[in-house]
Amino acid sequence: MTSDTQLLDDPATGDALADSTSDASLQRSIARSAQIEADLEVHPERYRMLTGDRPTGHLHLGHYFGSLRNRVALQDKGVDTFVLIADYQVITDRDEVASIQERVFSLLADYLAVGLDPARTTVFTHSSIPALNQLMLPFLSLVTDSELRRNPTVKAEQEATGGRPMSGLMLTYPVHQAADILFCKANVVPVGKDQLPHLEQTRVVARRFDERYGRAGDRSVPVFPAPDALLSEAPNLLGTDGTKMSKSRGNTIELRMSANDTAKVLKKAVTDSDRHITYDPAARPEVSNLVQLAALTTGRDPLVIAEEIGDGGSGALKKLVTEAVNEHFAPIRARRAELEADQAHLRSVLADGNARATEIAEATLAEVREAMQMVYG
């Protein structure tokens, strides 16, 4: 067994996280991601993908075009798909848990409405999987507190809490995220760039588990495979005021919004003083963002759309975007309304997902116990 000092002094592992945010490392992740993307077309059966969201609010068009749509595409390609609702992660920085329940079911309704199919995709709440959470203990033995303090995402999260003291859960949530990914031995994790340090932490945990505790059963393979990030090309969709789309800024269009409310939000969208519409994201972010939204929802080229509107001005642009968004999301919204009205169905979907995740987590925990020589009778 490796001693603590060896673990801490190992320069190869000690700097793994700091390196995960460097440019060279980002380039490597992007290249690796492109390779996987290509292989997925030919061998979807080689992949198990897992990703997830915190149940903090209602999903909006940024989520849809940035990630939800890709998840459904992966599912439809035949990739074994896991989507987790990270309810424990919500309590890293919040005291108030009263409405978690409602947010969880709202998130689930969003998932199912956009096309995640419970027959092919396992949707689960990580708090409901005891064996997953139990992995946290051996995993915590494999990381150091300074490594966690250096994690850029932990730092950013802490800054966002306005200098409140950091909870132990906040400090260690990257390790919990490693348990989220490794419990089912997912090998691809579609995430945004901001999550790369977590992925690197997960890879480090997988490798150190093998180095320190060893293997179970078939000794030629480590217990945990090292997962890769899948950094899919995501359009940079802004909010209706031209800044980052985020619920707290009130500049989002939510999946669940009515056609009427969508029209209202878009009517107030910020444009600029040049009446002639063009698509030029660098020089005209607000106008171009609306053009892009029309392009994404109609599947057309933004340059062509802008040219067609031309001197029609922002009035014509807003009218077109509103129609395009409402038309594209009408079936999704109708389905979502049906789902929301059938809480019993939502509960049974989650119960099934949690049962499947529990079965897998228990099998993995059994291997972990064997590798750690903690099987007693």
Q: Which residues bind ligand TRP (CB under 6 A)?
A: 50-54, 84, 86, 89, 177, 180-181, 189, 191
- To the nearest whole angstrom, how small is the minimum distance from the Cβ of residue 198 to ligand TRP? 6
The pair of structure tokens assigned to 352 is 């099934």
**Minimum separation from the CB atom of position 139 to ligand TRP (A):** 13
The shares of helix, strand and coil residues in the chain, as percent rounded to the nearest 5, are 60, 5, 30
Q: Which is nearer to ligand TRP, 51 or 151 (CB)?
A: 51
Which one, 75 or 314, has the nearer CB to ligand TRP?
A: 75
Contact status, residue 262 vs residue 326, Cβ threshold 8 Å: yes
Q: Which residue is nearest to ligand TRP (CB)?
A: 86
* Nearest distance, CB of residue 6 and ligand TRP, angstroms: 29
Q: Closest separation between CB of residue 263 and ligand TRP, Å?
A: 30
Query: From the CB of 56, what's the least distance to ligand TRP, in Å?
Result: 9
> 17, 187 in Cβ contact below 8 A?
no
* C-beta closer to ligand TRP: residue 86 or 346: 86
CA distances for 145 relative to 6, 141, 224, 286, 361, angstroms: 15, 10, 22, 43, 26
Q: Compare residues 131 and 305 and give the one whose CB is closer to ligand TRP.
A: 131
DSSP state letter for 143: S
CB of 159 to ligand TRP, least distance (A): 15
For ligand TRP, the closer of residues 168 and 377 by Cβ is 168
* CA separation, residue 224 to residues 50, 182, 204, 232, 282 (Å): 14, 6, 11, 24, 43
Which pair of tokens denotes residue 241? Answer: 């005021």
In the complex, least distance from residue 173 CB atom to ligand TRP, rounded to whole angstroms: 7
User: Which C-beta is closer to ligand TRP: that of 50 or that of 294?
Assistant: 50
The four Cα atoms 163, 168, 174, 180 give a dihedral, to 10 degrees, of: -130
Nearest to ligand TRP of 179, 320 (CB atom): 179
CA torsion 370-374-375-377 (nearest 10°) is 170
Q: At what angle do helices 196-213 and 343-371 cross, to 10 degrees?
A: 40
Task: Work out how close the CB of 27 gets to ligand TRP at its nearest, in angstroms, rounded to a whole number.
Answer: 21
Tell the residue number behind the tokens 């099998």, with chain if given. Answer: 363
We find the least distance from the C-beta atom of residue 149 to ligand TRP, in angstroms, to be 18
176 or 256: CB nearest ligand TRP: 176
Residue of 72, 73, 82, 77 whose CA lies nearest to 49? 82
Considering the complex, state which of residue 104 and residue 277 has its C-beta at the smaller distance from ligand TRP. Answer: 104
Angle between helices 313-340 and 343-371 (to 10 degrees): 80
Q: Which long-range contacts (CB under 8 A, 24 or more apart) does 44-47 make?
A: 44/74, 44/77, 44/78, 44/79, 45/78, 45/80, 46/187, 47/74, 47/79, 47/80, 47/187, 47/188
